Chains A and B, each alone.
Chain A
Amino acid sequence: MLWRLQTLVIKELQALLRNRQGRLLLIVPVVLQVALFPFAATLEVKNNTLAVLNEDGGSVSRELIHRFSQARAFSHVMPVSSGKDLERAIERQEALIAIRFPPDFSRDAAAGRPAKAQAILDGRRSNSGQIALGYVRRILLALEEERAASRGRAPVSEIMVRHWFNPNLDFVRHIVPSLVAILTTISTLVVTALSVAREREQGTFDQLLVSPLTPGMIIVGKTIPALIVATVQGTIVVAAGVLFYKIPFQGSLPLLYGCMLLFILSLSGLGLLLSSICSTQQQAFLAAFSFAMPAILLSGFPSPIENMPQWLQALDWFNPLRHFIVVVKGTFIKDAPLAALLPNIYPMAVISVITMSAANWIFGKRLG
């Protein structure tokens, strides 16, 4: 029986790796994404342009402009000479943020009155704008405290910020663990969803059904190749993260791989389910895509889950990716103990049982 299963697995792997183009398309995209994604997919604000209209000319505004140009967020400070130019800089996206210092800014500051500057931000990029504004506010605050200190007045209170697990808020530490989950999602779904549809389209599915393999064995035989492909891809990402991006692996590798297995099982069941409903590869691929897209977007990777409306958060419980990302981040960068991750592990087990038994039921029906 094991031997039968083995031949089925070998056959499935051959179908995937038979030609060069197919092999390349399983590896090259992974390497490409691991090389590109962490650099590109950042919500950080750096090397941006800040336009400034200085109607004041006093010492305080001059000092502030100097400090803006020193900040990592703004590699370029663009002086403009009129309100119209200031507006145009934002309109044409030449600058992310434009600041106007009114004529009496420095005088107000010197007299201890509130000195108010205005900022115009590009609403087409309001997230970056909010972050840039945060930097500007901190620069203003730092200068104010220094000025008070030079007059012998200590600030009443101060805030010390510590970013745990990622002291410099490096986006790479957020992206690489997420990428482990995203890439395994895509490959598991595509490999399983297309496997049955391909056989059906080429007419070999009937041959498989009349062979002495039981539905359970067909499912196992189609799951193992996906498991191999997805685990290899996941391992490539983890290794690249540790070796290339220098993210120290903090937690337990066995815990990560155990959960990865569970995660791939939950998606394989789903992929096989989709595959058995679809009659062509085109349908199967599009079905897999139609699931993977929303699953990735609602995984908490692009934006936090708690920002979603309640009903969507509840629905998202059935999204295995959402749980797996927490586990990968937990093991990779947080050294989270098993107990802390259990609330995310048991949903994956529940989803695996549901999808696998549904696939088994449908395959059995096709046989009978």
Chain B
Amino acid sequence: MRSILSFRRLLALCRKETLQIFRDPSSNIIAFALPVVMLFIFGYGINLDSSALRIGLVLEDSGPEARNFAETLHGSPFLRVSTSREREPMADALTAGTIRGFVVIPSDFSDRLKRPGETAPLLVVTDGAEPNTANFVENYVRASWDVWQRHRAAERGEPPRPGLQIEPRYWFNPSAESRNYLVPGSITLIMTVIGALLTSLVIAREWERGTMEALLASPMSLPELLLSKFIPYYALGIISLFLCVAVAVFMLGVPFRGSLVMLWLAGSLFLGCALGLGLLLSTVTRNQFNAAMAALNAAFLPAVILSGFIYEIRSMPAIVQGITYLVPARYFVTAMQTIFQAGDLWPVLSKSMAFLLAASGVFIALTSLKTRRRMD
């Protein structure tokens, strides 16, 4: 009887696998170069906080009140305003997508302001093809309009407007920078690429080339086989995780308030899920192209759209919300954003980790079931 788990055999297999990883430049690039590139993209390229929106201003009225409002609009740090006398060029620019909206000050604006009891309207047109940006255009123009009204009321000794005010405070992220939660969330994508995509490709290649059958025919046991695939990629993923955190904190300046132990724990559990899924898909498809496409669709895309890292889960329809509960990335995104921004909040983290643990168990059990069947 051979033993189920021989340390020597496992070590030899892990060594073989590690050599294979380092021999192929593409796995190195995926594990070390892509994470850094992606973090920089999420740090600099993806920014939901519009800070320099290009808008137009149509001055149909040239009275002092209109000029006063135009000045306030120009003063907004969030808007870059170009002025015109007519609507036509602004409408064309909006269609071509070179501006995101325009404000029209109608010709009777100053006149109406002079007459008491009359309301002077302003028109704001936004590019609805970019709904999030359109919201920001509206909010920023409204903010400038508030400022203008406040100054005007103060100058004329009228009661302050708006009378009902709200003072916002952003917890964990006082300046409300989207980078501070997008960068931790994007680590989920990187771990998914390493765990599911890379692993599924590598193992599918072994099936495709027939070296998997050779391994199965050798005196190794099933746990040894799975562990020998698992351990090297787990190590690769964890190294990459800490590299990501180092880049995020030291180069991108994202605050990190939790502990490294918690990070390691959450990262290990999520890698368990991703690797388990990668192993499962490659065992089922046994073809590199198909394994990669399957991993892309079953692991990567859900991590982008259903994990809540960019898109708000609560705004999704109930059925889609239900599906998100089955996506491991959702729990890891919550864990990462909490560890980075809020710290080790145990009530939030324990729930996420319990799910990740259960999901990795399911994927690994399914993989060993599938592999065993292939051996017969």
A303 touches B165 (CB 8 A): no
A154 within 8 A of B: yes
Closest chain-B Cβ to A347's Cβ sits at a distance in Å of 14
B235 within 8 A of A: no
The residue in chain B whose Cβ has the minimal distance to the Cβ of A126 is B176
Closest chain-B Cβ to A30's Cβ sits at a distance in Å of 10
Give chain B residues whose Cβ lies under 8 Å from the Cβ of A158. Answer: 119-122
Once bound together, how far apart are the Cα atoms of A336 and B95, in whole Å?
A: 6
Contacts A21-B290, A308-B47 given: A130-B139 contact, CB under 8 Å? yes
B163 within 8 A of A: yes
A282 touches B26 (CB 8 A): yes
Q: Mark B129-173, 1 if CB is under 8 A from A, else 0.
A: 111111110110110010001001000000111111111111111
Q: Mark B307-335, 1 if CB is under 8 A from A, else 0.
A: 00011101111001000000000000010
Give chain A residues whose Cβ lies under 8 Å from the Cβ of B314. Answer: 46-49, 96
The residue in chain A whose Cβ has the minimal distance to the Cβ of B136 is A130
Once bound together, how far apart are the Cα atoms of A167 and B128, in whole Å?
A: 7
Closest chain-B Cβ to A283's Cβ sits at a distance in Å of 4
Give chain A residues whose Cβ lies under 8 Å from the Cβ of B29. Answer: 286, 290
B96 touches A336 (CB 8 A): yes
* Complex interface: stretch among B198-206, B223-231, B242-250, B261-269: B198-206
Once bound together, how far apart are the Cα atoms of A298 and B41, in whole Å?
A: 8
Q: Mark A185-205, 1 if CB is under 8 A from B, else 0.
A: 010001000100010000000
Task: Choose among B25, B178, B317 the residue that contacts A39 (Cβ–Cβ < 8 A).
Answer: B317
Give chain A residues whose Cβ lies under 8 Å from the Cβ of B320. Answer: 36, 39-40
Size category of the binding interface on chain B: 35 or more
B366 within 8 A of A: no
Contacts A39-B317, A163-B126 given: A140-B169 contact, CB under 8 Å? no
Once bound together, how far apart are the Cα atoms of A162 and B49, in whole Å?
A: 22
Q: Mark B172-216, 1 if CB is under 8 A from A, else 0.
A: 111011101100000000000100011001100100000000000
Task: Choose among B172, B198, B338 the residue that contacts A286 (Cβ–Cβ < 8 A).
Answer: B198
B348 within 8 A of A: yes
Interface on chain A toward B: helix, strand, loop, or mixed SS?
helix
B46 within 8 A of A: yes
Closest chain-B Cβ to A255's Cβ sits at a distance in Å of 14
Once bound together, how far apart are the Cα atoms of A21 and B130, in whole Å?
A: 37
Task: Choose among B136, B168, B289 the residue that contacts A198 (Cβ–Cβ < 8 A).
Answer: B289
Task: Choose among A29, A112, A160, A287 the residue that contacts B293 (Cβ–Cβ < 8 A).
Answer: A29
State which residues 136-180 of A face B: CB under 8 Å.
136-138, 140-141, 143-144, 154-167, 169-171, 173-174, 177
Once bound together, how far apart are the Cα atoms of A74 and B172, in whole Å?
A: 22
Q: Which 6 A-B pairs have the closest CB atoms?
A: A123-B173, A166-B128, A163-B128, A123-B172, A307-B47, A126-B176
B interface residues with partner A (beta carbon < 8 Å): 24-27, 29-30, 34, 37-38, 41-42, 44-54, 92, 94-97, 100, 113, 117-136, 138-139, 141-142, 145, 149, 152, 159-174, 176-178, 180-181, 193, 197-198, 201-202, 205, 285, 287-290, 292-294, 296-297, 301, 305-306, 310-312, 314-317, 320, 334, 337-338, 341-342, 345, 347-348
Further contacts, 11 of them, CB under 8 A, given A109-B163, A282-B24: A32-B297, A41-B311, A123-B170, A123-B173, A130-B136, A131-B135, A136-B166, A157-B119, A297-B41, A303-B48, A306-B54
